[in-house]
Amino acid sequence: MGLRINDTAPDFTADTTQGKISFHEWIGDGWAVLFSHPKNFTPVCTTELGTMAGLEGEFKKRNAKIIGISVDPVESHGKWKDDIKTATGFNVEYPLIGDKDLKVAKLYDMLPADAGDTSDGRTPADNATVRSVYVIGPDKKIKLVLTYPMTTGRNFDEILRAIDSIQLTAKHQVATPANWKQGEDVIITAAVSNEDATKRFGSYETILPYLRKTKQPSA
């Protein structure tokens, strides 16, 4: 059975480009984005890690740390950083986990149990399932899971949008509609009666008996 939303994110210790970490301790009382890639020194992954480096400040604004992982050793991550800077213009300053024994990849259901016990000799195709994103809350619960195919680079602006939605709905009894962006109208959840909706949000629009929209609450 794979990991699901609201499961506790498995804890682990691992070597990273910034030293050994214990994952839950590293997260602390904020949010975290754990994102994996199939293999170092490959084209799509190079653009992804550079993009994340450029967006690190946006994640910090949301009290979210970012951390990358692949089954390559830490030493390989360090060598790859120069290529990422050349290709994208951004320095990777966030930690990268070296998961050479595949333990974290298996723990997070990124690779099957029979994938072996070492990254030696593995090709990007062997690691095809390792292009996942996990958003984890301060309670160490998984809030979002995304897995992409080998040839499709991820849209990390969408990850930021999802975090905005998750953080907003954690504070207020609202949901966000399709393609929602910061500042746009939100949906009042069914748990809020019409009377309570008026008290909480003031005016609102009833589109259907089960679909009520209102202005985005302030933070």
Residues 6+ away with beta carbon under 8 Å from 210:
190
Catalytic residue, from 45, 110, 160, 197: name it.
45
Give, as one character, the DSSP assignment of residue 204: -
Cβ-contact 99, 77 below 8 angstroms: no
Q: Which ranges in 71-171 belong to alpha helices (H)?
A: 74-88, 103-107, 156-171
Q: Is 45 a catalytic residue?
A: yes
Q: What is the DSSP letter of 123?
A: -
Q: CB-based contacts of 195: which residues, under 8 Å, 6+ apart?
A: none
What tokens does 219 get?
Answer: 């933070």
Cα–Cα dist 51/155, whole Å: 9
User: Over the range 89-115, which residues count as b (16 or more CB within 10 Å of their CB) and which as e?
Assistant: ebebebbbbbbbebebbbbbbbbeeeb
- The residues annotated with a catalytic role in the active site are 45
